[in-house]
Structure 1
């Protein structure tokens, strides 16, 4: 079986899909990814996977969405952020990507398409080519308002290819592969007709980049890890505020700034602070006492999967839901953008370290994640989906 994965060109969209791709390869199926050209060359192919260029770059998609005059990705309210995201993914990115996806499906003879949960081009292209498709999540579902608006905006693209979308823009017409534990999921899941749970597995290729030598020489003090992912890492002053709050404390403070930022930008720091572009979270998180992060789905689920409590500093999109749900489950605390001060960060981390209830709550989520079916367990269901369409 030839399986074509298609995703928005971003680490947070690609990485959650890789464990299932590897499971399919282990089951002797052929796998390829379709996404923007630069992401294919810089990320997909170095990960040892086949990449087919398709779709616009994130910068172009963002600029064209701004030209619509509908606000910005960092809108004045959280609802503005959702509306902007719906237009960006469904109205701008999808129609540009469908023709290239259709060509790839036909030229490569794909038999099944798996798209990430915001790649609205995937179902259109699969339907136009007459092959089945599945929707792969990267975390909790966006709110209903996002899906209803996105479905309306992508309808003209379905019409242009003379195929019928069905409810919610065709995104859930077949199988939804959900890596979000049920206790963390949004109410939107009630509108998803066919849901297959899949355990979230961190993909970070630790064999290619182990932890650096300094890690084994850390002092006998709590380990606090700080990350803003690969998009929110450019938000002004957040790293500086966190470092101002924590660098002088008796902590091992580990910071990653992302592959496109220079650690030297943060200036001179005391010896208990270690700044890198990237570290494999699968190796780091089991040793962490607290994670301070933006609330990206990958980081949040990876930390909770290891039973580590979080201080979440949400910046955009689904990060606000992830932050609030983490707090509601008792597994962390939230500092919103307008609340961000060195004092808020310092006090939040202190509570997470001193109160064992946060770690107990995080471990409850970890237990739930551990019971979810593995990517290998799900392969048979995808094989059946493909057979049923023949």
Structure 2
């Protein structure tokens, strides 16, 4: 058995319900982007085929449960490198262990230039009903500078193909704070996105990670990276432009047309349980944060040998920090009734006291039965606020 399976309902002193969501990691790319620190690598057709077989073996070891899946998310890497048959094998294996809800959301990440119209139609036939397209920028020089293989024309071709097969629920990813990126570049990208009018838009502030090509080339705050005041202006301008276009800014980095927020990502932000399947995937099952091996050899060995999970049950303090860190990303924040139902009142009192200064500044609210960050300043300073919460001692 693998580290995502064979967990009993009494494995935690406060057992959670079985997951109603599954994240499936496909760790292969045609080329590693210069900013990426995810568990990914280059993959031949034979290696991808072997990986799918092992992944299905892991899935087949899941316990049979009655809790239907509401969402499935294929992330990576580049899941659009899967053939339709491979996608079918994965979903069929999963459905054999866990029932699917009738209105299940099945999302799949794709890069422009890696997916054809016929491929999209086949994916849709097997249940995929939401695509997340990794656009990142609309300037050829910026795409090349961050290691993206696609050009601008490939973006429009992918969008045309999505709509041609009826996959109208799709997300576009953009990154701001890229090396050499100007405010004018960012405005142009936002304008192009608004003309395309996807149902969902995700905006990510570039983080320079050690071990990446960018990490070797650049240091935070140094040229050619935009200055902090420029990246702040980019974020604020995005909020203004997208809000005026009718997009709901429902989470720090995410905007959606009404009714099209990402149901799967809400599982994370609401700190609910989910299966994590595949190399490098993280799951949250029966009170355990389960990390799959980050290296392909180790993942294959774990699945094939039937190793059982060794991840510890998350402590109440761990759950507290996860609940706050994730839930405060949502515009509606967190229900105080939920907090009082899960955690000691002393912890909530301590948090309120520590954050009182930010409440006076208008960055955070403790009103109407909820704790939430007040956009845009609360979201701009979310890391500062969350750091204060992490520093609160564990009351005894």
**TM more than 0.5:** no
TM-score by length of 1: 0.31
More strand by share: 2
More helix by share: 1
TM-score by length of 2: 0.31
Considering Cα pairs closer than 8 Å and 6+ residues apart, tell me whether 1 or 2 has the greater RCO: 2
